[in-house]
Structure 1
């Protein structure tokens, strides 16, 4: 630890976490994991200092804590967040980091509850989270309602924090930025966010903002605990990594200069096959039943059946589809007002026959005469009502 005062040391640690909290630095990078490791060492040291100084005790309330000490209640949340983002070295390493994060988050919730920082509703939610599995986590409807309440509360608290003082970041800023705005940023212990001329007014505003920020961190903690619980369940049920029987010998020259260390398809004899189903009938790891004599074509066929679109892909364009449907007679054309206003065949025949002195008029006139003669012959042979044998009259 440097010779800096505790508030400046805490601010320095938080400032190193800004690239990670703002998502400008990938968690999988070596730089991010190194930053988290260094920050965790500082945070555990800060917690030991707070404990040795007796800054927080069980028989106090938030009104009895000084303005400069109130912000250190957030150390448990920051510690839990760093542990939650670390532990990428493997399954056991990840589970250990998640359990340490769960412990830090639980301690943070207990501290807020004992100092009566939370509202009655928030305190009840903390009790449910501390109890572990509850009816809310099993009922999807109740779980969704709880998430909606937490989201609305988080949005409301962010807006109140941003509007409580002129020097605070935007509502969409990370909680680390909110915390840094409450801590001193220079060697003299002066905070850059303090712009008020009246010291009492500035202290009161800073205290109110700190309490709002602690409530915001409480809401974020509930979401983090829910995610940690689900991830721990997945990791607990996941199969263990394949244990190698023998490491490849670098002195083995039977395969020439080909390096097979990072081959995705393991060669026979380099791993021990694990059981698929336990003695009690429990499936131990995912598997797919394939033909006994499978070739590469079978693998490709299986891959094509699994990794494909869940919908039918189009085989023709829309214009080609419409042309095909029209060819099949599935598209009805005509109709509408234009079809109603268009002249009928009889009317067109009458108009063509009235054009005297032309050959077309004579032809159309003859067609009209034959049509009328055929109609007259039909009416003579078929009297009106002649076919009505079932309902005469």
Structure 2
């Protein structure tokens, strides 16, 4: 339809131009006038055509005679002529060609933008599909490992139950067989005695019949049904859950605080699982490992490969920082915690103001205040993630984590005078050896 319109438009304009052309000068009308026969001519042309004519005049087109030289100005045709003249001028055509070129270029650019957008969207879709497939494989692998752990635990427990059942059955079976042997011996003796008793009616019994010695049978073994069933009537799911810790990858890392890195105002418990800020400064040796300007402390353990997870009980402490620190951080200067300075942290201020340690800080809107924070460090993928350990919801994740050796990092911060200092506690989930 558009092509047809484009083809027909020039012919329409051409026929209009012909209709607005004077038959005398063969050009567009100038001051068009209309004769009584309805034909149009230029005023100068018709005046020149009739000049010198005496008496009646005729129409140059239809030859109709008129008694006098009369005509009427046609303003509508004049306006149409001016419009056609304007649209067919070189200036107008050049302007129209320029507009056409600019519009065409604009549409070509928009088409290219659309093509690029479509290409980017398709690339994003391919990336999403590829990443989704990789994540699905990882999720399936992790749960397959959990299924295998549970399957192995189930197999082991069922095998243990089968062995104990067989042992108990074997004990009873041995006693049953001994009793049956003794019963047969006793029945043989009874039979001999009964025969001897029947014979005394006809003859005088001079001696007892020969009897087999009685078999001594041990007391039947006791079967304590409670002792047998209690371990299998126990909270098996909890027992299996506790045993799973030794097989989890990553399992909870049993961290301890490194006293040699503690700022002098940090007190560490004897078992190195609690760290709290206090008013009294501890007298420690100053060396390169210790933080001297900021109330910070590191864990004794460090990581530079693999995946690792640990949990910190922050309780109701209104302010703290925790996360991961690079081994090369400056421990003797007061610096802002950020990945650029070697820290990947989560922070709390004023009891409910949570932020990720970026520059500037990234404010976090949490639905609730977590009492336990989980930190996940993937050294190979260079990711540091923080979780609400109460429900394992993700709080924040750094995409570009530390290179090389990194340490778990903690800061109980300087407490306000209105609040009693609250400790940071490292939570341990050791693989407990439960008796089977």
Structure with larger Rg:
2
TM over 0.5: no
Q: TM-score, normalised by structure 2?
A: 0.17
Q: TM-score, normalised by structure 1?
A: 0.19
* Structure number having the greater strand percentage: 2
* Structure number having the greater helix percentage: 1
